[in-house]
Structure formats: C-alpha cells, structure tokens
Structure 1
Amino acid sequence: MTQTHATPPADIDWSTLGFSYIRTDFRYLSHWRDGAWDAGTLTRDNVLHISEGSTALHYGQQCFEGLKAYRCADGTVNLFRPDQNAARMQRSCERLLMPAPNTEAFIEACRQVVKANERFIPPYGTGGSLYLRPFVIGVGDNIGVRSAPEFIFSVFCIPVGPYFKGGLSPMNFITSLYDRAAPHGTGAAKVGGNYAASLLPGQEAKERHFADAIYLDPETHTKIEEVGSANLFAITQDGRTFVTPKSPSILPSITKYSLLHIAEHRLGLDVVEGDVFIDGLDAYAEAGACGTAAVITPIGGIQHGDTFHVFHSETEAGPVTKRLYDELVGIQFGDREAPEGWIVKV
C-alpha cells in the first residue's frame, strides 16, 4: 500500500498523540450465526447493537487483541506479525468456548481496516502508529451461564503515540498484593476480566506516583509475572543474558517473544524463560516492560514493601534495552531487515 493521498491526512497533531480513543472512519464487523461466520463488512457505525442478554455483558465471554500498522519511509505500510495475534486470539477463544476467525480472515480484516483508515496512519518519523483492536464477543438473547448463541468479530483502529508518556524514559513500578489472575485461570488468555481485575491495583499504584502495579505469581507471591498490562524482561549484571518470566498465568506477549528472538539472534545474548524472584533483583542490571502498546518501557525501579530497587537508572534506558528497542522499532517501521514472516505489507 503506497501513500497516494487519495484522502487528505487526518487533522491531528501527530507530535502530541498519546494512547486514547480517536474515532476513525471505518471498522470491520462480522457475525457468527448458525455455525459460521458471515462475509464481514466495513461500517462507519462505531456503536455495537447487541442483546441485553449477551454473554459478553454478564459472563465475560469476550477476548481481544492489539497490534499495529506502521508507516515506512517509502510510504508503504507494515503490519507486524499479525499471524501471531490471530493465533493468540484463537487460543483465547478456545479457552472461552467461542468460535475464532481463522488466520487468513483475521489478517484480511486487519488489512481492510488499515486501508480504509489510511489517512489516520501517523507519518513516518513521528513515532506514531495505527493501533488495531480486534475483538470477539458473545451476543444474542441468553440468560443462563452457557456459551452464547451468536458472536461478533470486529476490528477498529486508532492512531497512537506512546502508551507511557516519556517514550524510552524509565518508569517506576510497585508490586501489588492483588493477583492479576488465578493459578489455573485465564491469565494466558487475552480476556477483559484479567484487565478489570487490574484496575484497582493500577489506580492504587498511580495514587502512590508509580506508573503501574507489578503482579507476582498467584501461588507464592515470590516471582514477578507481569508489569501492569505488559510483560517483563531483565538483563543480567554481566549484560549477557536476557531473562523473562515464564508461567501458565502470564499472557504470552508477541512483543516479548520478538525480543527473545532479537536478543538471541541479533544481539548474541543468551535467553532464558524462567523465574524472576522479587527478592533477587540484584542479579539484573536492566529491566523493562514490553508489549504492543508499551513497545519497550525501561523500568527505573521497583518498590516492593519497604525496599526500592533501582536498575540501570531512573532517568535513562540501559544500553541493552536501547539496542533491543532500536532493533525492534527498526523492524516494525521497515528500517531494518525483518526475520522471515514477521512483516505483512498492507
């Protein structure tokens, strides 16, 4: 897809973009009825019309995804690893007894939304991107605790800047006494209930002037699992190993697994998915939060009880974190060669 200027760019100050809802022109909508998805369509209507008995409203039968489209220097547009988002949505749907769009349908829906909203893609060089939010919800007349009779698959988009203000500036976090997810619950699925559970601890963290809460493992409360709505990574003191937590209740971040690949194959680091103990932070020189929205946010320090642990710095990102960020963002915006299959041109 090239920038033809068939429609004028949106009247947006790209330099001040944050992470908030902006209504764009079109979104994709498909219904599942009688055992099959319909052909789907683009619509200008940003309001869903659903039954008051929809399982999404009463029983949390819904899941969602997040991915981005990036304007490249040559005017083309990249989707970053949409097949991985499709696969994760399929796993989430399976966990919640919902039908999922297949990978081809998922990617095609995303393509259509990006093309239809081309004027909202932030220009190359602004640091912004077009955030896509695919979701599946259970709808239809129902009242019992059961899977819905009908489902909606939709994709909408918004232009976004950084999720945490300050870009690659370090942020401080605080551990929470609350659990994000149960040990054998829905933590590995991208479902709304996990995020609803994080609202209160997130608010309490912000009231104490931290960026967000850090969640420990729900069984022992000794190991870091997630950083707010992002995954965690850390770099050992010798700068040679990239470490990230592993647990069945962690959402498998596509950004994290991309960084694992980059760390090993481009930076030559050893990579480990394992335990990151909250009382063992001295083993790490750097740490960061990563995800589609956050990209990479360096962690300046972590408050745990009465102890505040500082990593590389509270004011600047560490050297390995910077290299990881430059490599990842360079791939996303087309400035660096991508591993095979990572980029889908719109």
Structure 2
Amino acid sequence: MSTNVNIDWSKLGFAYSKTDLRYISIWKNGKWDDGELVEDNKLNISEASTALHYGQQCFEGLKAYRTKDGSIQLFRPYENAKRLMRSCSRVLIPEIPIDKFVDACLQVVKANEAFVPPYGTGATLYLRPYVIGIGDNLGVSTAPEFLFGVFCCPVGAYFKSGLAPVNFMISDEYDRAAPYGTGDVKVGGNYAASLLAHEHAVEKGFADCIYLDPATHTKIEEVGAANFFGITNDNVFVTPKSPSILPSITKYSLIHIAKEYLKLEVQERDVPINKLSDFKETGACGTAAVISPIGGIEYKGKLHVFHSETEVGPITKKLYDTLYGIQFGDVAAPAGWIVKVK
C-alpha cells in the first residue's frame, strides 16, 4: 500500500485515478454481507446484469477534506447515506443501512489516507459510493443480486482560475427528467439524458444548460447536474422546489448558511424563467464545484447578465467562503455536519 504518493496536487483535475483500496459488499439471499476492502478496481459481473440493460443502479458523491491540523473529515455523510436509501428504494434496490454506508466511506478514506490532498491546495479526496443490480437476469425485473461499492480518488480544485462566473443557456429541446419520474433521486439515467444537451450548450460557448420544469417549461429546475439558487434584489436566498429536482446536500447546506450565518430570508419555491430580472446574483451548487457563480443566462436569444460576467457577487462569495471554510475545518460547523476520520 502507498505511504507516500507522488502527486502534483496543483495539477489535479476532476478526473479518475486509481487509489490503493476500494470497498465492495454483495447482497445475496436477502441480506448484505459484511463487505471488504479490495485492491482490484475492475468488476466481474454477469453480462445479464440489470445495471447494464435496465439502468437499475444509483450512486452518490461526497468528499474527504484535510484540515489545517492534518486531520481528515467527511462533510455530512449521513445525508448522502439517507439520499442513497431514497434512490435505492425508488429503483427497487435493497437499501444500504446508514451506518454501513458511513462505515464503508470511513474505511475507504482511512485505507487511502496518503491520497488525501494536503490542506491549502484546494484539492480533496472524492468518494463515489454506488449500487448496481448484478446476476443473471433477462426480463425487466429487479436483480437477483446487488453490489455496493465505494471508491475514491484525489481531485483538484474545481476552479483553476479562482471562483469565476460562467454563462449558461436554457435548454428548450431537452428535459433531464420526466414529471414524477426519477429526477429527485440520483440514478444514472438522469445523467445519460443530460449528455446531449450539455454537448449542444458547450458547442454554443456555454458552460452547460439550465433545465426548465418538464411539465410546463416555465420554471427553472436544475443547472446541468447541479441545483440552482439566486439572490433577489432585496437579498432573499431563493432556490427552486419541484418533485423532479435532485435534493442537493450542498443546496440544503447553503440554505442553512444563508439563514443562520448570513441572516438572509430563504424561500424554496417556483422560479419563473420570465422573472430573471428579480435576481442580482445566481449560481449553481453541488459537491464538485461547491458553488459555480452564474454570470448570465441566455433565454430566447437574449443573454441576461446578473451581477457580472467576470466578478463574483458579494453574497455568493460569502456563501462560498463560509461553506468552504466549514468543509476544511476553518469555520465552526453546525452539529452533526462533520465526521472525523480516526
């Protein structure tokens, strides 16, 4: 196993790299086994696995952070565990018990401690828990067996040139999820549905596209693979509420920070696309980027610019700095948000 790793932390991107050990647990005959750490990063599964043909799978994403004193901590892993349980339930996968999920994550981080980037680099250790249907199955039905895995890899700071605004376009042609479909759980099909729309947005010079509600196409829902938030002209933190939005742990953390740390009013409600002028700052939020400030949104051929296309708005910056500080241990965290790796 690696005790020292030769990595230029400043050059890390958000990309896969193999680390020493990963966790694997199998569900068979009605129960999960104890799970184990393994070296092999290749899975040997049946060609008839439901994950391959019918999309019976779900996943999570969270990070481990190195603090100033050299210790390592996870950010709100119990919320990821709860969300994975909801995803499993939605696609008929046996739920992963919360304690099993958190223990698996802690085992993986501890086993790959040498890959946790140093404090001050902005880099983190990204964890990818996932559950897939495996075993011999041909008909459209739930799998006879399941595999729960957790792997990790060091990833760089999402913003190579600092926290900078980017522009997005409204997706008129595509939806990421159907009304009352699987938009509110973290399953791969939602992401597969977004690939073409993302490609079209990038070809047109945008960072990604913004999806409107699939029922009426009149309200903002998600920004690429992230949640949307905005700061109104009278300093209200607003974020969309919809049954087809994935409930972002980052978003709900920002809601708490906006209320308790910045003393802002918070509203989780409809965000009509024709009311962009109500906002002075907007952004996308998620595990990978924490916050991606939105400089402008193109809708019906017109680019609506918020605070600036080049500078981050002051409230967005405070939200980012506070959350980033909590994650790296520099700002006091609410009770239960941080789990130390011991």
- 1:50-85 Cα deviation digits (max 9, x unpaired): 001100000000000000000000011110000000
Residues 1:35 and 2:30 aligned together: yes
Residues 1:133 and 2:128 aligned together: yes
Tell me, which stretches of 5 or more residues in structure 1 are unaligned? 1-5
Residues 1:206 and 2:202 aligned together: yes
Find the aligned partners of 2:159 and 2:201 in 1 and give their Cα distance. 14
- The aligned residue for residue 290 of structure 1 is 285
Q: How does 1:291-330 map to 2 (within 5 A)?
A: 291-330=286-325
- The aligned residue for residue 80 of structure 1 is 75
Tell me the SS of whatever aligns to 2:262. coil
Distance 1:39 1:113, change over 3 A: same
TM-score normalised by structure 2 residue count: 0.98
**2:139 pairs with 129, 138, 144, which one?**
144
Find the aligned partners of 1:36 and 1:313 in 2 and give their Cα distance. 53
**C-alpha deviation, 1:213, in angstroms:** 1.0
- The aligned residue for residue 39 of structure 2 is 44
Find the aligned partners of 2:112 and 2:324 in 1 and give their Cα distance. 22
Residue pair 1:167, 1:297 contacting (<8 A) in 2 also: no
Q: Which runs of 4+ in 1 moved over 4 A?
A: none
Q: How does 1:118-197 map to 2 (within 5 A)?
A: 118-163=113-158, 165-177=160-172, 178-197=174-193
Q: Which amino acid aligns with 1:39?
A: D
The CA RMSD measured in Å over matched residues stands at 1.0
Tell me the SS of whatever aligns to 1:279. helix
- The aligned residue for residue 65 of structure 1 is 60
Residues 1:103 and 2:90 aligned together: no
**C-alpha deviation, 1:100, in angstroms:** 1.8
- The aligned residue for residue 3 of structure 1 is none
Distance 1:163 1:100, change over 3 A: farther
Residue pair 1:331, 1:337 contacting (<8 A) in 2 also: yes
**C-alpha deviation, 1:164, in angstroms:** 5.4
Residues 1:56 and 2:51 aligned together: yes
Q: Which amino acid aligns with 2:212?
A: L
- 1:221-258 Cα deviation digits (max 9, x unpaired): 111100000001000112x2100000000000000000
- 1:191-213 Cα deviation digits (max 9, x unpaired): 00000000000000000111011
Q: Which amino acid aligns with 2:248?
A: S
Q: Which amino acid aligns with 1:100?
A: E
Tell me the SS of whatever aligns to 1:110. helix
**C-alpha deviation, 1:305, in angstroms:** 1.7
Q: Which amino acid aligns with 2:61?
A: G
Q: Which amino acid aligns with 1:57?
A: L
Distance 1:147 1:229, change over 3 A: same
Find the aligned partners of 1:231 and 1:217 in 2 and give their Cα distance. 13
Residue pair 1:140, 1:150 contacting (<8 A) in 2 also: yes
Q: Which amino acid aligns with 1:13?
A: D
**1:22 pairs with 2, 5, 17, which one?**
17
Distance 1:138 1:241, change over 3 A: same
TM-score normalised by structure 1 residue count: 0.97
Find the aligned partners of 1:56 and 1:165 in 2 and give their Cα distance. 35
**C-alpha deviation, 1:163, in angstroms:** 3.8
Residue pair 2:77, 2:339 contacting (<8 A) in 1 also: yes
- The aligned residue for residue 257 of structure 1 is 252
Tell me, which stretches of 5 or more residues in structure 2 are unaligned? none
Q: Which amino acid aligns with 1:212?
A: D
Residue pair 1:100, 1:136 contacting (<8 A) in 2 also: no
Distance 1:139 1:7, change over 3 A: closer
**C-alpha deviation, 1:167, in angstroms:** 3.8
Q: Which amino acid aligns with 1:246?
A: K
Q: How does 1:259-274 map to 2 (within 5 A)?
A: 259-274=254-269
Q: Which amino acid aligns with 2:295?
A: G
**C-alpha deviation, 1:162, in angstroms:** 3.4
Find the aligned partners of 2:260 and 2:271 in 1 and give their Cα distance. 22
Aligned pairs, how many?
340
Q: Which amino acid aligns with 2:84?
A: M
Distance 1:130 1:205, change over 3 A: same
**C-alpha deviation, 1:271, in angstroms:** 0.3
**2:109 pairs with 104, 114, 127, which one?**
114
Find the aligned partners of 2:158 and 2:192 in 1 and give their Cα distance. 18
Question: What percentage of residue pairs aligned between the two structures are identical?
Answer: 67
**C-alpha deviation, 1:166, in angstroms:** 3.6
Residue pair 1:183, 1:249 contacting (<8 A) in 2 also: yes
